[in-house]
Amino acid sequence: MSAQTIASKLLRIDYPIIQAPMLGVTTPDMVAAVAKEGGLGSLPVGGLSPEITFQLIKETKSKTSKPFSVNLFAHEITTSVDIAELNTMQDFLETVFQEYNIPFERKEISDFTFYSYEEQIEILINENIPIVSFTFGTLNPDIIDRFKRRGTVLIGTATDVNEAKVLADSGVDMVVAQGIEAGGHRGSFLPDKPLPQVGLLSLLPQIVDAISIPVIAAGGLFDKRTIQAAFTLGAQVVQLGSIFIASDESAASDAYKEAVLHSNETSTELTRAFSGRWARGIRNDFMERMKTSGIPIPSYTYQNSLTAPLRAYARTYDLVDLISLWAGQSSFRSRRGKSSDIFRSLVQSLQL
């Protein structure tokens, strides 16, 4: 029995392919479509309220009886923030809002509300979610123990070897090796260290050699060649996200989808502009203005909250220069059409 088959059995899927959880892009329809085709659909709920988390899980269950995973943000909620830094950022954002005639409301510290993953755990347990993935850190040991006692498969995210070792030692069942090519937020979580910027070709075999549990490859994968390369380097499962951004079930706006489809291998870069946390997206005016301003960017999730109204307005009116266009270095390989057809074409090309 191949390593890919063993991993697929653990995840209760037919094919060793995961649809990446992309908050703001992935929908219950996308998750269900991939699950029905025999892959692992991943529902992102990181940072969402318990109520919305419950609603999304229920909606996904109403669309498929197949197993799917739920993805959490495992970071600790930041309670301290530099007020002067926060106000300077709001001054800057106010000028951008005014330029586009967007209503602007200043925030006081008491106006910020953040949700911890620990507030979502009871919902996942009560809903018998069989697979839980997470990023931005490690889960509380007591929570890992609760999941393990229930037979829940746990998947952590690492962007370097040290993170992978920490996750493996914590008791997770699998680790995602997230290469620098991957779109969206970096899963990096070890404090006081430079941001790991390791390509998947180098990262994957190093993590495979360093830990004894199955490794999932993520970053820059889009076809038979790239997936087979990941398997050759030791991955037992692959995770693809950007290829689904332009799909019918994607929540991305039409402008977002078009930006992805017309991008190339140099269109993306890492930025903290939108959320305060490093993420890869298609370069746009807001990212450039933040970069040249020299203004300190408040930490995640304060910056994410401050830019939320801007991003929401831009999404409604297709203003691509103000949208966080999260996408990977191979995102131009995204395709129009049904998520099920995109997934099926991958399976057929691999002859799985």
**pLDDT confidence of 10, banded at 50, 70, 90?**
very high
Domain count, the chain: 1
Give me the mean pLDDT over the 250-256 stretch: 96
- Asked if 170 and 213 count as a contact pair (C-beta separation under 8 A), the reply is no
**pLDDT confidence of 344, banded at 50, 70, 90?**
very high
- The three-class DSSP label of residue 40 is strand
> In the structure encoding, which two tokens stand for residue 224, read together?
């038979």
Q: In what order do the strands lie in the sheet with 131-135?
A: 17-19, 237-240, 215-218, 174-178, 153-158, 131-135, 69-73, 42-44
Containing domain of residue 22, as a range?
3-350
Residue 303's pLDDT is: 97
Give me the mean pLDDT over the 153-166 stretch: 98
293-320: per-residue pLDDT in tens? 999 999 999 999 999 999 999 999 999 9
**Which residues, other chains included, contact 208 with Cβ-Cβ below 8 Å and sequence gap of 6+?**
177, 215, 233, 234, 235
Taking each helix axis as running N to C, give the angle between helix 28-36 and helix 339-350, from 0 to 180 degrees, rounded to the nearest 10.
30
89-144: per-residue pLDDT in tens? 999 999 999 999 999 999 999 999 999 999 999 999 999 999 999 999 999 999 99
Residue 187's pLDDT is: 98
59-82: per-residue pLDDT in tens? 999 999 999 999 999 998 877 889
pLDDT for residue 269 is more than 80: yes
* Average pLDDT over all residues of the chain: 96
> In the structure encoding, which two tokens stand for residue 183, read together?
């779109």
Q: Which of 266, 244, 273, 265 is nearest to 256 (CA)?
A: 244
- Asked if 31 and 41 count as a contact pair (C-beta separation under 8 A), the reply is yes
Residue 351's pLDDT is: 87
197-232: per-residue pLDDT in tens? 999 999 999 999 999 999 999 999 999 999 999 999
**Which residues, other chains included, contact 90 with Cβ-Cβ below 8 Å and sequence gap of 6+?**
106, 107, 306
Strand partners, 237: 216
Burial class (CB in 10 A: 0-12, 13-18, 19+), 137: buried
Give me the mean pLDDT over the 241-266 stretch: 97
> In the structure encoding, which two tokens stand for residue 65, read together?
């009886």
> In the structure encoding, which two tokens stand for residue 313, read together?
């307005």
Q: Which of 55, 53, 28, 54 is nearest to 42 (CA)?
A: 28
Burial class (CB in 10 A: 0-12, 13-18, 19+), 229: middle
> Which DSSP letter does residue 326 get?
B
Residue 305's pLDDT is: 96
- CATH number of the domain residue 68 falls in: 3.20.20.70
**Which residues, other chains included, contact 45 with Cβ-Cβ below 8 Å and sequence gap of 6+?**
23, 52, 53, 56, 57, 70, 71, 72, 120
Strand partners, 70: 43, 132
- Residue 312 has φ and ψ, to the nearest 5°, of -65, -45
Percentage of the chain beyond pLDDT 90 is 95
